[in-house]
């Protein structure tokens, strides 16, 4: 990753050595490239997921099959994991931040029955899924070039530290939510 990236000519933030306009979104945030495989020679499933995740969020496509996500007068369908008891934020699922794109009804039915990592799945419709920001990580200049900071995080659009952030997923905020059966 660090080889293709360099400090931006302005001195503030990161840039690709051969950057093209498509490397940034309309908020100016830099995105991980498909070719940025951390282990060379191995397929980079996470990066493939990056491109598909972003498109699914923007175009409201099902996260599983890629078809149109379910949409009704009550909003767009999302599949969430219910927070642990006692950790449920006030008003949940209102204002939940999600990196999981919406879903269609047939895939939601399958996922709720067959997805082992979803221990307590909840279907939620959001009338207003708002593009909130990005998920990814910060890079920092060191003596050896740019070094990724170990933690991954979410970053809201408009954050002043965004020039040092490499995005890998789009984050939406689910508003005007309703839990559905």
Site residues (CB under 5 A) for Zn ion? 62, 64-65, 104, 107
| Residue carrying structure tokens 């593009």 | 131
Q: How far is the CB of 65 from Zn ion (least distance, A)?
A: 3
| Region class of 10: left (phi > 0), else alpha (psi between -120 and 50), else beta | alpha
Q: How far is the CB of 53 from Zn ion (least distance, A)?
A: 14
Please check whether residue 115 is in contact with residue 80, taking contact to mean a CB–CB distance below 8 angstroms. no
Read off the DSSP letter of residue 90: T
Residue 142 CA to its chain's centroid (Å):
27
102 or 137: CB nearest Zn ion: 102
Which ranges in the chain belong to alpha helices (H)?
Answer: 45-59, 105-114
64 or 162: CB nearest Zn ion: 64
51 or 154: CB nearest Zn ion: 51
Q: How far is the CB of 105 from Zn ion (least distance, A)?
A: 8
The DSSP line for 100-142 is S----HHHHHHHHHH-TT-SSEEEEEEEEEEEEEEEEEEEEEE
Q: How far is the CB of 172 from Zn ion (least distance, A)?
A: 17
The token duo for 48 is 């493939």
62 or 76: CB nearest Zn ion: 62
56 or 96: CB nearest Zn ion: 56
Q: How far is the CB of 98 from Zn ion (least distance, A)?
A: 16
């Amino acid at each position: 990753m660090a080889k293709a990236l360099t400090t931006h000519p302005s001195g503030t933030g990161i840039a690709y050595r051969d950057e093209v306009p498509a490397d940034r979104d309309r908020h100016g945030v830099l995105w991980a490239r498909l070719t940025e495989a951390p282990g060379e020679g191995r397929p980079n499933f996470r990066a493939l997921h990056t491109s598909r995740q972003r498109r699914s969020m923007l175009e409201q496509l099902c996260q599983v099959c890629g078809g149109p996500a379910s949409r009704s007068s009550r909003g767009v369908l999302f599949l969430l994991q219910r927070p642990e008891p006692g950790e449920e934020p006030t008003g949940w699922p209102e204002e939940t931040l999600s990196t999981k794109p919406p879903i269609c009804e047939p895939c939601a039915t399958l996922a709720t029955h067959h997805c082992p990592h979803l221990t307590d799945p909840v279907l939620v419709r959001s009338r207003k899924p708002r593009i909130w920001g990005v998920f990814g990580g910060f890079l920092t200049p060191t003596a050896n070039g740019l070094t990724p900071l170990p933690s991954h995080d979410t970053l809201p659009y408009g954050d002043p530290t965004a020039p040092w952030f490499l995005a890998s997923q789009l984050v939406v905020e689910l508003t005007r939510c309703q839990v559905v059966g």
